[in-house]
């Protein structure tokens, strides 16, 4: 989604959100990720003014008053944290670990195949189909990307072929390279 994403070409408009809209977004985020509530004020302070950045291809970014991109959303999909947020708070999303052989493919934006998750270096959290997951690599400290599961973790183990996770956002993609929104 963000492979060829650049601020100059993709961003179509920026607007300040009203406090009621900010409250609704925070509530929606807490409904999706209730276990994050104790850390919510650190991630997204209540009094923080928030900008909504509209982009091409129905992508919306939520940025703090300092311009740091906190979350993103595609069409009517879930509000997802960026990798920068997930590096600070990796427990927000369930994680899937790929083996060492998949690292270079993930970093180039390739979807994750089932054998990369079921091999000896791969590990999986128990998740359902179409769930957002954090992608980590065998032997690495920080996450490589965020994806949506194409199958449940049980089906990935059973079928063991085809695409297991669609990659959405990964290290060094266009969203990662956007530092701040002015």
pLDDT value at 174 more than 90: no
pLDDT for 19-68, tens place per residue? 898 889 899 999 999 999 999 989 888 888 899 999 888 899 999 888 88
The pLDDT assigned to 56 comes to: 87
**In order of start, what are the domains of the chain with their CATH numbers?**
7-82 (3.10.400.20), 95-170 (3.10.400.20)
The pLDDT assigned to 1 comes to: 65
The pLDDT assigned to 157 comes to: 93
The pLDDT assigned to 163 comes to: 94
- The DSSP-derived string for the chain is --TT--HHHHEEEEEEPPHHHHHHHHHHHHHH-GGGGGGHHHHS-TT---EEEEEGGGEEEEE-TT-BEEEEEETTS--EE-HHHHHH-TTSS-EEEE-GGGHHHHHTTPPEEHHHHHSTT-EE----TT-EEEEEETT-SS--EEEEESS-HHHHHHH--SEEEEEEEETTSHHHH--B--
The pTM for the full model equals: 0.88
pLDDT value at 178 more than 90: no
């Amino acid at each position: 989604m963000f492979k060829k994403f650049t601020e100059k070409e993709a961003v179509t408009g920026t607007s300040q959100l009203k406090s009621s809209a900010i409250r609704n977004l925070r509530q929606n985020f807490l409904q999706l990720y209730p276990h994050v509530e104790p850390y919510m004020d650190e991630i997204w302070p209540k009094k923080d003014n928030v900008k909504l950045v509209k982009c091409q291809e129905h992508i919306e970014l939520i940025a703090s008053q300092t311009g740091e991109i906190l979350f993103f959303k595609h069409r009517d999909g879930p509000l997802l944290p960026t990798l920068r947020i997930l590096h600070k708070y990796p427990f927000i999303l369930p994680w899937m670990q790929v083996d060492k052989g998949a690292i270079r493919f993930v970093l180039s934006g390739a979807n994750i195949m089932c054998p990369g998750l079921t091999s000896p270096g791969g590990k999986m959290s128990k998740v359902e189909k179409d769930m957002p997951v954090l992608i980590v690599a065998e032997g690495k400290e920080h996450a490589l990307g965020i994806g949506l599961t194409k199958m449940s973790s049980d089906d990935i183990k059973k079928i063991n072929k085809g695409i297991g996770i669609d990659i959405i956002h990964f290290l060094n993609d266009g969203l990662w390279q956007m530092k701040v929104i002015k």
